[in-house]
């Protein structure tokens, strides 16, 4: 990277030639042959996440303040979205991953948190949308399995209930008469007042006000979409074999009792 750091960085096509890039290069080049006699930190001129190496020609010693500043500048001069995402993540880790070594004001705190939140959200959405149906199903199942054996303390339940009270998106708020009419209109003919029943022998599920002959409460096993949960099912476990089953009440295996396994 040395001696012409500016041209070397431009040749990578990773940087925008704007004022932030000029400031970044000026700080780096000013320290290549002038290491300050104070506390310094090692900085990769071309960041490792962008393909930079650990060779001495790609390293420079900067003061803590300079190191902090150059990482913020890097978020302003990336030519690609991928590069921008990586530099935002690097700046976020620099601030929050070093035992609060850096001091920053409230505006800077908010700025870094906001851009990192947006980047993280965009990356997750892109990852989620790239999954196939089988991968989504596997992901939901892994998340479900990770919760087996975990119980929610009463204090947590009470705190959640208290937090939800008065929240118009959750509990504690009644619908207005106008809202009730709209809900009735939208739900008319869509199973309002009905429940799911299924027949394993017939391989069918149906919505009905009363249980048809030969049917059992709940949907047909395997027909419930993972993203909406398994309606009508409950957790059961065998206290001796220490195995769990997630089934419609009445279909639990012999010897199973309601609840999940409590991990020791």
Q: How distant, in Å, are the alpha carbons of 20, 87, 139, 202, 224 from that of 221?
A: 58, 47, 19, 12, 7
* β partners of residue 205: 198
Residue 55 lies in a domain: yes
The pLDDT score that the predictor gives to residue 102 is 58
Three-state helix/strand/coil letters over the chain:
CCCCHHHHHHCCCCECCCHHHHHHHHHHHHHHCCCCCCCEEEEECCCHHHCCCCCHHHEEEEEHHHHHHHHHHHCCCECCHHHHHHHHHHHHHHHHCCCCCCCCCHHHHHHHHHHHHHHHHHHHHHHHHHCCHHHHHHHHHHHHHHCCCCCCCHHHHHHHHHHHECCCCCECCCCCHHHHHHHHHHHCCCCCCCEEEEECCCCEEEEECCCCCCCEECCCCCCCCHHHCCCCCEEEEECCCCEEEEECCCCCCCCCEECCCCCC
Q: Which of 128, 143, 171 is the last residue of a domain?
A: 128
Indicate the number of domains in the chain. Answer: 2
Looking up tokens 């009730």 gives 180
The pLDDT score that the predictor gives to residue 228 is 39
CB proximity list for 104: less than 8 A, separation 6 or greater? 68, 95, 112
Residue 178 lies in a domain: no
Residue 207 lies in a domain: no
CB 249 within 8 A of CB 217: yes
Label the pairing between strands 216-217 and 243-247: unpaired
The pLDDT score that the predictor gives to residue 261 is 66
CA-angle at 20, arms to 43 and 25, nearest 5°: 45
Q: Which of 128, 152, 186 is the last residue of a domain?
A: 128
The pLDDT score that the predictor gives to residue 74 is 93
The pLDDT score that the predictor gives to residue 18 is 92
Give every residue of the chain whose pLDDT is below 50, as ranges. 171, 226-229, 264
The pLDDT score that the predictor gives to residue 226 is 46
Cα–Cα dist 217/131, whole Å: 33
Residue 164 lies in a domain: no
The pLDDT score that the predictor gives to residue 137 is 82
The pLDDT score that the predictor gives to residue 27 is 92
Domain that holds residue 263: 233-264
Residue 188 lies in a domain: no
pLDDT single digits (tens) 45-104: 999 889 888 888 889 999 888 888 899 899 999 999 889 989 988 888 877 765 555 556
Q: Which of 99, 128, 157 is the last residue of a domain?
A: 128
Residue 117 lies in a domain: yes
The pLDDT score that the predictor gives to residue 9 is 83
Residue 60 lies in a domain: yes
Residue 196 lies in a domain: no
The pLDDT score that the predictor gives to residue 227 is 41
CB 231 within 8 A of CB 246: no
CB 194 within 8 A of CB 212: no
Other Cβ atoms within 10 Å of 62 Cβ, number: 21
């Amino acid at each position: 990277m040395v001696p012409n750091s500016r041209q070397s960085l431009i040749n990578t096509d990773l940087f925008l030639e704007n004022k932030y890039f000029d400031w970044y290069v000026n700080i780096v080049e000013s320290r290549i042959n002038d290491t300050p006699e104070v506390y310094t930190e090692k900085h990769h001129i071309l960041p490792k996440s962008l393909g930079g190496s650990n060779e001495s020609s790609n390293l420079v010693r900067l003061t803590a303040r300079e190191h902090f500043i150059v990482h913020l500048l890097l978020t302003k001069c990336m030519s690609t979205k991928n590069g921008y995402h990586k530099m935002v993540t690097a700046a976020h880790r620099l601030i929050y991953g070093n035992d609060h070594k850096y001091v920053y004001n409230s505006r800077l705190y908010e700025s870094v948190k906001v851009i990192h939140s947006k980047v993280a959200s965009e990356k997750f959405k892109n990852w989620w949308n790239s999954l196939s149906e089988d991968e989504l199903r596997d992901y939901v199942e892994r998340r479900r399995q990770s919760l087996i054996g975990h119980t929610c303390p009463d204090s947590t339940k009470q705190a959640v209930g208290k937090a939800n009270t008065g929240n118009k998106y959750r509990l504690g708020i009644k619908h207005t008469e106008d809202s009730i009419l709209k809900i009735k209109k939208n739900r008319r003919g869509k199973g309002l007042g009905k429940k799911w029943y299924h027949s394993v022998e017939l391989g069918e599920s149906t919505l009905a006000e009363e249980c048809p002959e030969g049917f059992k409460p709940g949907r047909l096993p395997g027909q419930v979409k993972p993203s909406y949960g398994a309606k009508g099912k409950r957790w059961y476990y065998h206290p001796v074999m220490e195995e769990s089953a997630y089934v419609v009440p009445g279909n639990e295996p012999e010897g199973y009792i309601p609840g999940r396994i409590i991990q020791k």
